[in-house]
Amino acid sequence: MKKTFAYGIILFMTSGMMAKNNINPTINTAENNCNYQLVWEDDFNEKSLDETNNWFVVINGKGGGNRELQYYKRENIDVGNEPVSGENCLIITAKKENYKFKKATSGRISTQNKMSFRYGKVEARIKLPKTENGLWPAFWMLGSNYPKAVWPKCGEIDILEMGSNAGIETFAQEKYFNGACHWGETFNHGVYPNYTNAVVSRYPLQDDFHLYTLIWNKKAIKMYLDLDKYPDVSPYFEMSIDGENIPGDPARYFHHDFFLIFNLAVGGNFTGIRNIKDITALKEKEAKMYVDYVRLYQEKTDEEVLNWTPTTDKN
């Protein structure tokens, strides 16, 4: 999904408690109780995806720089009902099929050149597929200066990733997930600055819908699981960005506009699986990721935050 390699990543596995980030952690505050207002949303209630105002459908087989096995096709993106709940959702389908030079197909959409923002609370209610061995669903963000600012210089915020090799090796595929940030000017022998925090949830995350929330302000980036059900839950990811003017501090990569991305990758470096025969999650030929809604809230009291506008310039 992102142009990243399995280097320089710090992983912490806990039993549902957040492992403190080693990059200037901030003190937890009641961010969820801030004076937020809804400024943008997509509930996927129309008959088709809103590609005019909200979404860009990615079509390519580049493998995301991660040796992923899928070709992203428009046909793998749909809007319809999740069969158990009946909720109208964005549906991303991964399939085991030969297409062009790939052995699988899937879908990826983003708000690039449609909507970008700086700061706020972003939440998405998602029902993940059974990742088993080989699927890599994600809800994440890239700096809107991409691709002019070559990755990772643009900055990247991963709100949810699931399906990692570490989860597979510990037989925790349905509970092991992570948040992450990536940044930097250049690679140094394949290594770039990044911070990843992996967590083992106290309950499975591939059985039903769950809420994934990013709270991003001038001081910190924090991520929460099921904040609607557990309003006092600690963040599973926390990173300080309160050092924008300090030379070399990662903060300077996270104080500009970002856009949103949903995708369902097949295989690749993150999963440790690079052969379609080893993708056990596609033994029934296909798997689906459902997104009930995605919403962006921003604070009424912060003038800078209220400068949110849809992106109009072309990268």
Give how far the C-alpha of residue 65 lies from the chain's centroid of Cα atoms, to the nearest Å: 16
List 31, 68, 123, 156, catalytic entry:
156
- Structural contact between residues 276 and 73, judged by C-beta atoms closer than 8 angstroms: no
How far apart CA 226 and CA 202 sit, in angstroms, is 12
Neighbours of 189 (CB within 10 A): 6
How far apart CA 179 and CA 120 sit, in angstroms, is 17
- Structural contact between residues 258 and 113, judged by C-beta atoms closer than 8 angstroms: no
- Structural contact between residues 254 and 241, judged by C-beta atoms closer than 8 angstroms: yes
Number of H-type helices and E-type strands within the chain: 1, 17
Element (H, E) at 290: strand 286-299
Tell me, yes or no, if 174 is annotated catalytic.
no
Tell me, yes or no, if 156 is annotated catalytic.
yes
How far apart CA 94 and CA 137 sit, in angstroms, is 10
- Structural contact between residues 273 and 279, judged by C-beta atoms closer than 8 angstroms: yes
List 31, 82, 161, 299, catalytic entry:
161
- What backbone torsions phi and psi does residue 221 show, to the nearest 5 degrees? -115, 120
- Structural contact between residues 118 and 221, judged by C-beta atoms closer than 8 angstroms: no
Neighbours of 98 (CB within 10 A): 11
| Angle ∠(90,315,196) on CA atoms, nearest 5 | 60
- The neighbouring-strand residues paired with 295 are 41, 123
Q: Which residues are catalytic?
A: 156, 161
